[in-house]
C-alpha cells in the first residue's frame, strides 16, 4: 500500500507549489486582485476535461507496462518540463499588453499553467485508481489514509520550499514583474522530487493482469474485458446514490478551498503585514512566503487529524465534525492580525482537508466495488472536485465586490461554504448500488 501511493508524495509537492504560488506569481506579473480568481478557473477546468478521459482510457488499457502506470509516467514527465519554465514567465521580457489586457508574461504563465495542471491531473488520477484496483474493501480506508498521509507530507515540503530557499540565502525579491528566485528554485527542486517518486512507484508496483483482476474483484472476464464500452454519460446515469450525495458535499468543500488558495496571500498581506497591497514590495513577497508556512501548518493539522478520523465509529459524524472545525479556522482569518495566530487558524482548516482527502473516495470506491469501470467512475467523480472550483473562480470577482473588496471576507465566505457542506453530509447515501 505504501508503494502504491509513494509517487503521490512527489505529485503533491507539485500541486502544493501550484496552490501556494499561483496567485503570488500572477499578482507579481501584474494581475489585478479582481482578476486572480479567473486564473484559478484553468486548473479545475483541465481536471474536469482530463480525468474522466484518463479513467475511461485506462480502464481499457492492459499492456506490458500496466493498466494505470503508463498514464502516470507520461503525466509526470510533462509536469517536470512545465515546472522548469512556469516560474520564469516574468523573466522573458514579455511586458507589452496583449489580448484581454494581459501582458505576454501572463499569457505565457496561463499556457504553462494549463499544461502543468493537465499533466498533474494525468499523473495524480492513476494513484487513486490503483488503490481501487488492487486493495480489498476492508483495507481501502487504510490505503487511502496512507495516500492522505503522503499527500500532506508532500504538501508540507512544497509549501515550505520558498521560505526554506529564502532562509539559505536565495533572493526572495526581484524586479517588478519578475518572480523571485526563491520561487523558481522551489519549482525546480519540486520537479526533481516528483520524477524520482513517480519512478519509484512505477518500478515497485506490478498491476494485476486482466484474469487476476477479474478474480480479485469477483467479476467475470467478460465483464472485465470492456467490450460493452459504455459511454461516460451512460455510466453517469447509472452512478450509485453515493456518487451524487458525496458530490454535493464536495461542491461546497472545494469551492471553499478555491477561495483559500486564491485569497490567502492577499489576506495575510492586508491583515498581518499592515494593509500591504503593492505586489512588488518586500512585505508582499514576505507575506507570500508566509502563505507556504500557513499551508504547511494546515498540512500538519491534516496529518494529525487523519490519525483521529479512524477513531470515529460513524464516518458521517467524522465528516461533519471535520468540516465544522475547518469552518471555524476560515472564519477566524477574517479577524486575525498576527501571522502566528494565522497558523493556528490554518491548523484547524487542516481537519477539513484531511476529511476531504480520505472520506469521499472511501465512500465511493466501496459503493462501486467490483465495477469494471472504476477508473471511469473515479474520473467522473473528479468533476465534483473541479466543477465547484470553476464556479467559485468564475464568480470570485463578483463575490469580492459584494464584500467590499475585502480578501479576508472571502475566507469568511469559505467558512460559510464548509458549514453548508457539513449540513449536506446528512444526505449521503452509503449503501452499495
User: Going residue by residue through the chain (433 aa), what tens digit of pLDDT does each one get?
Assistant: 888 888 889 988 988 888 777 777 777 666 666 566 666 677 777 777 787 888 778 877 778 888 888 888 888 998 898 888 777 765 555 555 544 455 566 777 777 777 887 888 788 878 888 887 888 777 777 787 788 788 888 888 888 888 899 889 888 877 776 778 888 899 999 999 999 999 999 999 888 888 888 888 777 665 555 555 667 778 778 878 888 999 999 999 999 999 998 889 889 988 888 877 776 678 887 888 888 889 889 989 988 998 888 788 888 899 999 999 999 999 999 999 999 999 999 999 999 998 998 888 878 877 776 666 777 787 788 888 888 988 988 888 889 989 888 889 999 999 999 999 999 999 987 654 3
In a domain, 340, yes or no: yes
In a domain, 37, yes or no: yes
In a domain, 432, yes or no: no
Residues 321-339 as b or e (16 or more Cβ within 10 Å = b)? bbbbbbbbbbbbbbebeeb
Cα dihedral across residues 247, 248, 249, 252: positive or negative: positive
Distance between CA atoms of 150 and 102, rounded to whole angstroms? Answer: 37
Distance between CA atoms of 247 and 171, rounded to whole angstroms? Answer: 43
In a domain, 292, yes or no: yes
Question: Count of CB atoms within 10 A of residue 182's CB?
Answer: 26
In a domain, 214, yes or no: yes
Q: Of 202, 260, 401, 415, whose CA–CA distance to 329 is shortest?
A: 415
pTM of model > 0.85: no
How many domains are there within the chain?
1
Q: Are 274 and 283 in contact (CB under 8 A)?
A: yes
In a domain, 178, yes or no: yes
Cα 166 to the center of its chain, rounded Å: 25
Long-range residue pairs from 228-235, CB within 8 A, at least 24 positions apart, any chain: 229/60, 230/373, 232/52, 232/56, 232/376, 232/379, 232/380, 235/373, 235/376, 235/377, 235/380
In a domain, 433, yes or no: no
Start-to-end CA distance of the chain, whole Å, equals 27
Domain hosting 46: range is 2-427
Tell me, what CATH number does 403's domain have?
1.20.1250.20
In a domain, 154, yes or no: yes
Amino acid at each position: 500500500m505504501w508503494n502504491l501511493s509513494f509517487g503521490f508524495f512527489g505529485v503533491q509537492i507539485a500541486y502544493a507549489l501550484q496552490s501556494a504560488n499561483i496567485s503570488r506569481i500572477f499578482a507579481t506579473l501584474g494581475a489585478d486582485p479582481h482578476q486572480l480568481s479567473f486564473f484559478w478557473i484553468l486548473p479545475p477546468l483541465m481536471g474536469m476535461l482530463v480525468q474522466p478521459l484518463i479513467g475511461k482510457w485506462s480502464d481499457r488499457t492492459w499492456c506490458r507496462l500496466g493498466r494505470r502506470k503508463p498514464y502516470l509516467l507520461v503525466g509526470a514527465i510533462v509536469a517536470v518540463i512545465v515546472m522548469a519554465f512556469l516560474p520564469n514567465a516574468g523573466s522573458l521580457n514579455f511586458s507589452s499588453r496583449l489580448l484581454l489586457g494581459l501582458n505576454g508574461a501572463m499569457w505565457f504563465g496561463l499556457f504553462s499553467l494549463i499544461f502543468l495542471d493537465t499533466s498533474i491531473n494525468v499523473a495524480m488520477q492513476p494513484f487513486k485508481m490503483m488503490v481501487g484496483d488492487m486493495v480489498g474493501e476492508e483495507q481501502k480506508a487504510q490505503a487511502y489514509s496512507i495516500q492522505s498521509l503522503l499527500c500532506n507530507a508532500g504538501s508540507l515540503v512544497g509549501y515550505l520550499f520558498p521560505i526554506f530557499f529564502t532562509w539559505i540565502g536565495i533572493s526572495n525579491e526581484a524586479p517588478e514583474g519578475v518572480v523571485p528566485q526563491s520561487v523558481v528554485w522551489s519549482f525546480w527542486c519540486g520537479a526533481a522530487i516528483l520524477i524520482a517518486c513517480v519512478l519509484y512507484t512505477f518500478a515497485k508496483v506490478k498491476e494485476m493482469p486482466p484474469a487476476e483482476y477479474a478474480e480479485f474483484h469477483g467479476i467475470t472476464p467478460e465483464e472485465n474485458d470492456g467490450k460493452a464500452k459504455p459511454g461516460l454519460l451512460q455510466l453517469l446515469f447509472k452512478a450509485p446514490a453515493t456518487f451524487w450525495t458525496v458530490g454535493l458535499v464536495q461542491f461546497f468543500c472545494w469551492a471553499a478551498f478555491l477561495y483559500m488558495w486564491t485569497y490567502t496571500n492577499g489576506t495575510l498581506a492586508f491583515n498581518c503585514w499592515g494593509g500591504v497591497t503593492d505586489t512588488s514590495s518586500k512585505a508582499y513577497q514576505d507575506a507570500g512566503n508566509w502563505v507556504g508556512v500557513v499551508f504547511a501548518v494546515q498540512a500538519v493539522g491534516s496529518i494529525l487529524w487523519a490519525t483521529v478520523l479512524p477513531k470515529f465509529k460513524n464516518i458521517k459524524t467524522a465528516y461533519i465534525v471535520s468540516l465544522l472545525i475547518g469552518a471555524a479556522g476560515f472564519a477566524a482569518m477574517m479577524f486575525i492580525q498576527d501571522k502566528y495566530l494565522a497558523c493556528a487558524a490554518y491548523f484547524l482548516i487542516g481537519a477539513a482537508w484531511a476529511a476531504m482527502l480520505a472520506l469521499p473516495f472511501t465512500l465511493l470506491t466501496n459503493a462501486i466495488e467490483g465495477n469494471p469501470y472504476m477508473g471511469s467512475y473515479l474520473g467522473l467523480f473528479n468533476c465534483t472536485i473541479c466543477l465547484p472550483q470553476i464556479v467559485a473562480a468564475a464568480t470570485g470577482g463578483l463575490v469580492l465586490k459584494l464584500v467590499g473588496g475585502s480578501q479576508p471576507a472571502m475566507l469568511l465566505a469559505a467558512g460559510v461554504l464548509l458549514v453548508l457542506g457539513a449540513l449536506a453530509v446528512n444526505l449521503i447515501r452509503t449503501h452499495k448500488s
